[in-house]
Amino acid sequence: MADDLERRRRVGAELVRLTGGDPFSLVAAAAEEHRAHHLQGCGLYSAGPSVMRLAATFARAGGARRVLDLGTGFGYSALWLADAIGPTGHVTAIDRHDEHIGEARRFAAQFGLDDRTTFVVAEVDDALRDLDQPFDLVHDDAWFAQEPSYLDAMLGALRPGGMVTMPNWFLLEDAVTGEPRNEWAAFAGPEWAAATRRYAARLLADDALHVTFVVSPPLGVVVKL
């Protein structure tokens, strides 16, 4: 498993290079540095360029104009999506930490994307009650293992034919293989594998959704029928 993951990382890095590299790599680097020194353990992990290029491709292909980014951190995913949807689109990005949103706004201005991004400090459940809906695409990087409390509200905020992209579904591969690439219990408790399977089953059982899980790069994709 470790050798396979390392091979995937090498291949992924080369494919990112071939497709023009990561335009927002300095945002990801800043997030890495912040996480290493954050005393409260904010769990700030950027999805990575392979995942975000795929999510951005879905946004482009679907002609998304209104995008919601949950768990944006320093705005890495929001910037990828804002760049993809063009100047007539808009990304609303949510994070619970003031410090994260402050950095996200700074980076958006630095990359000239502040006119198509709005960053909001809030818990996702609270934000979904107040936002103008519907959205064409929701990028959900706020959940981890457990079915999120905001699932129904998130799906309700999505237009018919709209899409949810979810970068943390590498957990499902790890649960299926029984060979986790990290000590996920430290992040999500000892029942992380069962919780991940339950969440996957919940999505797959919904006749109003079309669900796909991609292994490499890891991404869950939900289309609202």
Query: What is the rounded distance in angstroms from the CA atom of residue 67 to the CA atom of residue 74?
Result: 17
Q: What are the extents of the domains in the chain?
A: 2-224
How much is the pLDDT for 186? Answer: 87
Q: Are 137 and 68 in contact (CB under 8 A)?
A: yes
How much is the pLDDT for 45? Answer: 75
C-alpha distance from residue 38 to each of 65, 87, 134, 159 (Å): 34, 34, 35, 37
Please report, in tens digits, the pLDDT of each residue of the chain (225 residues total): 667 777 877 887 887 788 899 999 999 999 888 877 765 556 667 889 999 999 999 999 999 999 999 999 999 999 999 999 999 999 999 999 999 999 999 999 999 999 999 999 999 999 999 999 999 999 999 999 999 999 999 999 999 999 999 999 999 999 999 999 889 998 899 999 999 999 999 999 999 999 999 998 999 999 999
79-104 in b/e form (b: 16+ CB < 10 A) is bbbbbbbeeebbbbbbbebeebbebb
Q: For residue 127, give the amino acid letter.
A: A
* Fold of domain 2-224: Rossmann fold (3.40.50)
Q: Are 95 and 72 in contact (CB under 8 A)?
A: yes
Beta bridge partners of 214: 219
Give which of 43, 8, 48, 44 is closest to 24, Cα–Cα. 48
Q: What is the DSSP letter of 148?
A: P
Q: Look at strands 135-140 and 117-121 and give their pairing.
A: unpaired
Q: Are 39 and 45 in contact (CB under 8 A)?
A: no
Residue with tokens 């994307």, as numbered in its chain? 113
